[in-house]
C-alpha cells in the first residue's frame, strides 16, 4: 500500500501533536512549549518537550523525537501505515491509496468501517461484563482468592459473564444482529432453527486490547475446574490470535522501563505478575509464538524472555518459540528462555518463593544460543560419531535461520565444537548437502581504532574528542578516516542491497539513520516505510519505487557503477561480509552521534543540573561500544 506523500504532509499539517501526545502524557505549558515526563524512559523531572509551533516532540533525556505519526509509531508500536490510518481516522480523513484500483479501495473502506463497528460492539460488551463483575460476589471472591486487587482488575478491565444463555440480550436488544455473531460474542447454532446463545457464560472475562487500547476480543476463565478452563474469542475481522498479545497495551511503558518483555502462557499469569511487580508481562492467546508476535514486541524492546512451564508441554512451546525467534536474533537483540519447575507457573512461583527469586530466574534465563544447542542435541549421543553427525544435521536448519552477524558466527563455533569439527569444515559440509548453499564466512579487513576521549577545560566544563577510523595501514591522527556522510553511503548501499538487514537494527539505529541530514535521512526513512508497507524487496523493485523521490540520484549513484551495472564489493580493497561491514560502519556512526550528544550535554551544564549525569552515561555507553568494536575486530 502506497500513501501519497502529499496526503501525509496534509495530515501532519492538520494534526496537533500537542493534542495527540497529551492523550498519553500529562503536559504542562512551559513558555512557548509543553513539558512532561518522557514516556520512553524513566525520569523524575520533565525533560520531554512538545512544540505546538514546530509540531514536534523532543526528549532532552533520551533523545527521542518526531512528529505526530512518529509518536504513534514509537509509543503505540504501530507500523507506518497503521499510524497514518489511525491519525487520519482521528481527524476524519480518508487515506488515499495510489496503488489500489477503485473496487479495492471501496472494499478496504468497507472493511475499516466494519472493524470500527465491531470494536464499538465489543467495547459495549466489555462495559457490561465489568458491571456484572461488580454485582457478582462469587466472581469477586474468586479474584480475591487469586490475590488480585480491585485496582489491578480495573487496570486490565476484568469483567464477569453471568451463567445465563442470553445475558447479552439485555445489553443488545437486537440480539439477532449479525454483528454479535461476527464479533464472536454470540454463537449461532448450525441446525435449521439457528438458535443463538452467549459464547461466554459464568466466566471471568479478560478483554483483549490492541496496541491502541481498543477491545478486539475476550478470553474467559471458569471459576472452578470445568472444561474448557479457558475460552477465547474466535478469529474475527478485528482479532487474530497469531497477531495479538494479551497485555501488550497495558505493558507498553513497562517494556521500555524494564528493558525486556516477559512472554507467558496465560491471561492470569499476566495479570498476577502485574499485581506482583512485573508489569512487563504479556501472553500469547492459546497459540504458539509467531513471527508477528516477535515483530510487535521488538517495536517496544530489544529483549524478550519466554517463560514456560518445565514440563513436556512447556518444552514443546519453547521449541516453537525458538523457531519463531531465530530470524530476529540479531546482534542488538536478546532472546532468552526461562523454564520453571513443572509444578509452577509464574504466578504460583512468585507467591511461593517471592518476587526477588523470580527476578533472579528471569536474569539467569537460558540464552537463545544455549537453547539452540540443546534443541540440536536432543536425542543425540555425543559420545559417538553417529550422534555428533546427527547433531550437525539437526543444527543446520536452526543455524541457517539466524541473521548474519557476530552472534551467528559465535553459535557456529559452539556447534562446531560439539561436533568436533572446525567451523569452516562444518559450513563446507552443510554446503555440500542437497539443496544447500554455502554459509557466508566473514573476511576481515584491517581497522585502526583511535578512541581515547580527551577531556579539556572549557567555559561550560569538559569537552570530549573521540573518533573511530577505518584505514588500510596505521596512519597518523585523522588520516584515512571515513567521514560521516561517506559512512552513510556505505550503510545505504548495504541496506539497499540487503533490505532484510534493516529489520535487525535497533530502534536507536533506525532513528539515527532516519535523522541524518538531507537525502540520506530521507532515503533511510523511505526504506523503513517500504519494509513496513511491502516487506523485503530486491534492489530492482526498490529502484522502481523511488522514481521521482529526492534521494533517487543518491541511491542510483550508490548502487550502480560507471557501466550502469549493480556494484559488487570490489571497491579497491577486500570487502567485509556485508552484515559485518554494516555493523562496523554503524558502530562508528553511533559513536559519533553519542559524542555529539556529549558536547550538547556539556554545553548545558551551567543551566541543567542533570546534564553532567547525561554526559557520564553517554561516556559509559561509548566505552562499551568501543570495547565491543575492538572485540569484533579481534575475532574478525
Q: 76: domain CATH number?
A: 3.90.580.10
State whether 37 and 116 are in the same domain.
Answer: no
Contact yes or no for 196/188 (Cβ under 8 A): yes
pLDDT value at position 16? 85
**Domain limits at 486?**
448-635
Cell numbers given for 331: 546482534
Residues 51 and 77 in one domain: yes
Give the 3-state secondary structure of residue 402. Answer: coil
In contact, 509 and 516? CB cutoff 8 Å: no
Tell me: do 420 and 503 sit in the same domain.
Answer: no
DSSP structure string for 89-105? HHTT-PPP-TTS-HHHH
Instruction: Give which of 251, 215, 187 is closest to 128, Cα–Cα.
Output: 215
Has residue 290 been placed in a domain?
A: yes
End-to-end CA distance of the chain: 41
430: Cβ–Cβ under 8 A, 6 or more apart, which residues?
A: 392, 396, 400, 436, 438, 439
Using alpha carbons, select from 232, 241, 308 the residue that is nearest to residue 269: 308
Q: Based on the structure, what is the number of domains in the chain? A: 5
Q: What is the pLDDT of residue 454?
A: 36
CB contact set of 373 (below 8 Å; sequence gap of 6+): 395, 411, 414, 415, 418
Whether residues 337 and 410 share a domain: the answer is no
Whether residue 144 is found in the same domain as residue 174 = yes
> What Å distances lie between residue 85 and 80, 218, 292, 634, CA to CA?
9, 24, 20, 47
CATH classification of the domain holding 482: 1.10.860.10
Closest CA to 144 of 248, 275, 274, 270: 275
Distance CA 636, CA 628 (A): 12
Residue 443 lies in a domain: no
Residue 314 lies in a domain: yes
Task: Based on the fold, state whether residues 193 and 47 are members of the same structural domain.
Answer: no
How does DSSP assign 203-232, residue by residue? EEEEEEE-TTS-EEEEEEEESSS-SSSEEE
For strand 215-222 and strand 261-264, is the pairing parallel, antiparallel, or unpaired? unpaired
Q: Are residues 331 and 401 part of one domain?
A: no
For residues 556 and 627, state if they share a domain: yes
**Shared domain check, 221 and 123:** yes
Considering the domain architecture, whether residues 129 and 220 belong to the same structural domain is answered as yes
Distance of alpha carbon 502 from the chain centroid: 13
Cβ atoms of 121 and 171 within 8 Å: the answer is: no
Could you tell me if residue 143 is inside a domain?
yes
Grid-cell match 472444561, residue found: 227
Listed in sequence order, the DSSP H helices in 259-367 are 267-275, 291-297, 312-325, 346-353, 355-363
Same domain (yes/no): 452, 308: no
**C-alpha distances out from residue 475 to 446, 450, 469, 478, 493, Å:** 12, 10, 10, 8, 26
Which triple of cell numbers denotes residue 151? 485496582
Q: How many CA atoms lie within 13 A of 499 on its CB side?
A: 20
The pLDDT, as a whole number, for residue 472 is: 32
Residue 280: inside a domain = yes
Is the separation of the CB atoms in 501 and 579 below 8 Å? yes
CA angle in degrees (0–180, nearest 5) for 133-135-137: 85
Which CATH number covers residue 382? 1.20.50
Give the CATH number for residue 160.
3.90.980.10
Instruction: Report the largest interatomic distance among the alpha carbons of the chain, rounded to a whole angstrom.
Output: 88
Q: Is-contact 411 399, C-beta < 8 A?
A: yes
**CB 162 within 8 Å of CB 173:** no
Other Cβ atoms less than 10 A from the Cβ of 23: the count is: 10
Q: State yes or no: cis peptide before 228, omega within 30 of 0.
A: yes
What's the CATH number where 269 sits? 3.40.1360.10
How much is the pLDDT for 513? 92
Report if residue 238 sits inside a domain: no
d(CA 272, CA 359): 15
| pLDDT of amino acid 559 | 80
Task: Give me the average pLDDT of each 10-residue run along the chain (636 residues).
Answer: 70 82 87 88 86 82 83 82 84 70 59 72 96 96 93 96 94 92 91 84 95 91 89 91 92 87 92 94 90 86 88 86 92 91 87 92 95 94 94 93 90 94 89 56 34 36 35 35 74 89 83 89 89 71 77 85 37 52 87 87 82 84 80 60
Domain contains 133: yes
For 384, phi then psi, to 5°, come to -125, 155
Last residue of a domain, one of 90, 121, 150: 90
SS (H, E, C) 373-405: HHHHHCCCCCCCHHHHHHHHHHHHHHHHCCCCC
C-alpha to C-alpha distance for 181 and 125, rounded to whole angstroms: 13
Domain for residue 98, yes or no?
no
Question: Cα 433 to the chain's mean position, in Å?
Answer: 35
Could you tell me if 484 and 631 lie in one domain? yes
Number of residues assigned to the chain? 636
Instruction: Cell 475481522: give the residue.
Output: 237
C-alpha 399/C-alpha 373 separation (Å) is 10
- pLDDT, position 107: 57
Residue pair 560/452 in contact (Cβ under 8 Å)? The answer is no
Domain boundary, last residue among 364, 388, 420? 364
Q: Sign of the CA dihedral 180, 182, 185, 190?
A: positive
Amino acid at each position: 500500500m502506497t500513501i501519497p506523500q502529499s496526503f501525509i504532509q496534509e495530515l501532519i499539517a492538520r494534526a496537533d501533536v500537542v493534542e495527540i501526545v497529551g492523550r498519553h502524557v500529562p503536559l504542562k505549558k512551559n513558555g512557548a512549549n509543553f513539558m512532561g515526563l518522557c514516556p520512553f524512559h524513566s525520569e523524575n523531572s520533565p525533560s520531554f518537550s512538545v512544540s505546538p509551533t514546530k509540531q514536534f516532540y523532543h526528549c532532552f533525556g533520551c533523545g527521542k523525537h518526531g512528529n505526530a505519526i512518529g509518536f504513534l509509531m514509537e509509543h503505540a508500536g504501530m507500523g507506518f501505515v497503521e499510524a497514518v490510518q489511525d491519525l487520519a481516522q482521528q481527524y476524519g480523513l480518508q487515506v488515499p491509496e495510489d496503488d489500489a484500483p477503485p473496487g479495492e479501495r471501496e472494499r478496504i473502506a468497507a472493511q475499516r468501517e466494519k472493524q470500527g463497528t465491531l470494536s464499538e460492539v465489543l467495547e459495549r460488551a466489555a462495559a457490561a461484563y465489568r458491571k456484572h463483575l461488580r454485582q457478582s460476589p462469587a466472581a469477586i471472591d474468586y479474584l480475591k482468592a487469586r490475590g488480585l486487587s480491585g485496582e489491578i482488575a480495573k487496570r486490565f478491565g476484568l469483567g464477569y459473564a453471568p451463567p445465563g444463555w442470553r445475558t447479552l440480550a439485555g445489553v443488545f436488544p437486537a440480539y439477532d444482529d449479525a454483528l454479535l455473531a461476527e464479533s464472536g460474542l454470540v454463537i449461532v447454532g448450525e441446525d435449521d432453527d439457528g438458535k443463538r446463545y452467549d459464547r461466554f457464560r459464568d466466566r471471568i472475562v479478560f478483554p483483549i486490547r490492541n496496541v491502541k487500547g481498543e477491545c478486539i476480543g475476550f478470553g474467559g476463565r471458569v471459576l472452578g475446574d470445568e472444561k474448557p478452563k479457558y475460552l477465547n474469542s474466535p478469529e474475527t475481522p478485528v482479532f487474530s490470535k497469531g497477531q495479538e498479545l494479551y497485555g501488550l497495551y497495558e505493558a507498553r511503558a513497562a517494556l521500555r522501563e524494564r528493558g525486556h518483555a516477559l512472554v507467558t502462557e496465560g491471561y492470569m499469569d499476566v495479570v498476577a505478575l502485574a499485581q506482583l511487580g512485573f508489569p512487563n508481562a504479556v501472553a500469547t492467546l492459546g497459540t504458539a509464538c509467531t513471527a508477528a508476535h516477535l515483530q510487535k514486541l521488538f517495536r517496544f524492546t530489544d529483549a524478550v524472555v519466554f517463560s514456560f512451564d518445565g514440563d513436556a508441554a512447556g518444552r514443546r512451546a519453547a521449541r516453537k518459540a525458538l523457531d519463531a525467534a531465530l530470524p530476529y536474533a540479531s546482534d542488538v537483540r536478546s532472546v532468552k528462555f526461562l523454564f520453571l519447575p513443572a509444578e509452577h507457573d509464574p504466578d504460583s512461583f512468585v507467591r511461593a518463593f517471592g518476587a526477588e527469586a523470580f527476578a533472579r530466574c528471569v536474569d539467569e534465563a537460558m540464552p537463545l544460543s544455549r537453547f539452540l544447542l540443546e534443541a540440536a542435541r536432543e536425542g543425540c549421543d555425543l559420545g559417538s560419531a553417529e550422534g555428533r553427525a546427527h547433531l550437525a544435521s539437526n543444527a543446520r536448519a536452526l543455524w541457517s535461520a539466524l541473521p548474519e552477524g557476530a552472534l551467528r558466527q559465535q553459535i557456529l563455533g559452539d556447534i562446531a565444537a560439539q561436533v568436533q569439527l572446525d567451523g569452516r569444515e562444518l559450513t563446507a559440509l552443510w554446503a555440500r548437502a542437497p539443496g544447500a548453499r554455502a554459509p557466508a564466512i566473514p573476511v576481515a579487513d584491517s581497522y585502526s581504532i583511535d578512541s581515547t576521549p580527551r577531556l579539556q577545560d572549557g567555559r561550560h566544563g569538559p569537552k570530549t574528542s573521540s573518533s573511530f577510523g577505518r584505514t588500510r595501514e596505521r596512519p597518523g591522527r585523522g588520516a584515512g578516516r571515513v567521514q560521516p556522510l561517506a559512512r552513510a553511503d556505505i550503510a545505504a548501499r548495504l541496506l539497499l542491497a540487503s533490505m532484510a538487514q534493516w529489520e535487525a537494527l535497533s530502534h536507536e539505529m533506525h532513528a539515527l539513520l532516519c535523522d541524518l541530514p538531507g537525502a540520506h535521512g530521507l532515503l533511510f526513512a523511505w526504506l523503513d516505510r517500504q519494509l513496513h508497507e511491502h516487506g523485503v524487496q530486491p534492489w530492482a523493485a526498490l529502484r522502481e519505487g523511488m522514481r521521482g523521490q529526492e534521494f533517487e540520484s543518491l541511491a542510483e549513484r550508490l548502487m550502480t557503477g560507471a557501466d550502469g551495472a549493480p556494484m559488487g564489493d570490489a571497491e579497491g580493497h577486500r570487502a567485509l561480509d556485508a552484515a559485518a561491514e554494516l555493523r562496523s560502519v554503524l558502530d562508528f556512526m553511533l559513536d559519533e552521534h553519542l559524542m555529539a550528544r556529549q558536547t550538547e550535554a556539556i554545553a548545558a551544564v551551567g543551566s541543567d543540573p542533570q546534564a553532567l549525569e547525561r554526559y557520564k552515561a553517554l561516556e559509559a555507553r561509548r566505552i562499551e561500544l568501543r570495547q565491543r568494536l575492538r572485540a569484533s575486530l579481534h575475532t574478525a
